[in-house]
Amino acid sequence: MNFYQQLGFLVFGSRLRRLSETFLSDVNSIYKAHKIPFDASWFPVFYILSQEGEVSIRQISNQLGITHSAASQMVSNLQEKGHIKSTVSKKDARHKVVAFTPKGQRLLQKIQPVWQALQYAMLELGGGDAESQKLLASLTRVEERINEKSLFERIEGHL
């Protein structure tokens, strides 16, 4: 049993960060190996736009559970790269929405096969069985509980 396994929940965040860094690094290596100018950190916005066509920054913020400012920064970064553009909503002229540019649409076409391969690879890693479904359900419960009461508040309650 290694260090991380011995300490259990005490190093839960460290283990998640380590896994996340490994996953993101490997995914970015795939993009690079296939000469696709894409960064894994762009995935959430690209995926939402691939499903919705056009969305407001507020919608991105709400779907990702991040601040409006953080969503705005993600959008600005992608606008600077020329992948998305901001326009007036066709449904409500009082609101701005973001959508793919032709350059972003071409990039989306290149990355979708990687997303499909990533889905298969993650199913292989998870085993595709009941245990992997329990893992995802457990992560969801942890996220929900943190939203109810932060880890900071929980630690303070034990001190």
Domains, the chain, with CATH or none? 3-126 (1.10.10.10)
Indicate yes or no: pTM above 0.75.
yes
Structural contact between residues 49 and 56, judged by C-beta atoms closer than 8 angstroms: no
Neighbours of 134 (CB within 10 A): 10
Measured CA to CA, the distance from residue 78 to residue 34 in angstroms comes to 20
Outline where DSSP puts E strands in 2-82: 54-55
Q: Is the pLDDT of residue 127 over 80?
A: no
Kindly state the average pLDDT of the residues 10-35: 93
Give Rg (Cα) of the chain.
19
Q: Which residue has the higher pLDDT, 32 or 4?
A: 32
∠ Cα 131 136 138 (to 5°):
90
